[in-house]
Amino acid sequence: MDKRKVGNILGFTSIIPVITSVIVFYTQRGPNADIYFIINIFVALSILGIFLAIFSWLFTKRLILFFIAFIGNIFVLAAAFLLLLAMGISEP
C-alpha cells in the first residue's frame, strides 16, 4: 500500500471514535449510568481519534478529513471535560 491509501484509511478511521462516542452517549444514560466510566471512554476515544487524524494528515496532506476528524474529536474531548467539571461541581 502506498502512503496516500494508508492516509485515507487513517482519515476515515479517525472519524469512527466520534461516531462511537455519540453511540455511547445515547446508550449509556439514566440514573444508574457510571458517569466516570463514560467520561474515560470519551477521553480515550477522543485522544485516539486526534492521533489518527494527525497521522492521516501527515500521510496524505488532505485537509478535509483532518479538519472533520480533528474538530469532531476536539468537540468530544470538550464535552468530556464539561461533564467532568459538572460532576466535580455537583458533588459536595
Distances (CA, A) of 38 to 23, 42, 44, 69, 77: 11, 6, 10, 20, 12
3 state SS of 32:
coil
Residue-range domain boundaries for the chain: 3-90
- Residue identified by cell 444514560 is 29
For residue range 23-36, list pLDDT tens digits in order: 998 998 888 888 88
CB neighbour list of residue 43: distance below 8 Å, 6 or more residues apart = 77, 80
For residues 65-79, average pLDDT = 93
For residue range 40-63, list pLDDT tens digits in order: 999 999 999 999 999 999 988 888
What integer pLDDT is reported at residue 8 of this predicted model? Answer: 86
pTM of the model: 0.87
What integer pLDDT is reported at residue 92 of this predicted model? Answer: 59
Q: How confident is residue 11, by pLDDT bands cut at 50, 70 and 90?
A: confident
What integer pLDDT is reported at residue 91 of this predicted model? Answer: 72
